[in-house]
Amino acid sequence: MEITQVTQEVYTASKRLEKAANELYKLGEAKASSEQVYRVKLAQEILKLKAEHMAVGMISDVAKGNVGDFLFKRDYDEVRFKAALESVDAIKSQLSALQSILKYQVDV
């Protein structure tokens, strides 16, 4: 690889890292929002089931089942956020490798 080609790849990787950071922020916001919605819906469902005099031992499981769509959304957003974190780490590793190659080529 020539120095100009490595330099271009370093630039491209840094731009990808910048975009990934912006996307990570959005995904983190979505994750927090879905967590908030899930907790509010779960609390409302628990109160509703208590008002209906459901057995205390069953309330938690039944409430979680009744708000399962919100639980799924929360878990889905969390997985997307974690996947984005791993993607950012991969880009960082690639950038580090390119920087090492560039340093080696400059030194030679």
Instruction: Please spell the DSSP secondary structure of 65-85, one letter per residue.
Output: HHTHHHHHHHHHHHHHHHHHH
Residue range 54-100, pLDDT digits in tens:
999 999 999 999 999 999 999 999 999 999 999 999 999 999 999 99
Burial of 52 (0-12, 13-18, 19+ CB in 10 A): exposed
What is the chain's mean pLDDT, rounded?
94
> Rounded to an integer, what distance in angstroms lies between the CA atom of residue 93 and that of residue 102?
14
Q: What was the pLDDT predicted at 65?
A: 96
- Output the pTM of the full model: 0.82
Cα gap 50→59, rounded to integer Å: 7
Give the residue-averaged pLDDT of 25-54: 97
Distance CA 85, CA 17 (A): 11
- Rounded (5°) CA angle 62-30-77: 55
Other Cβ atoms less than 10 A from the Cβ of 56: the count is: 9
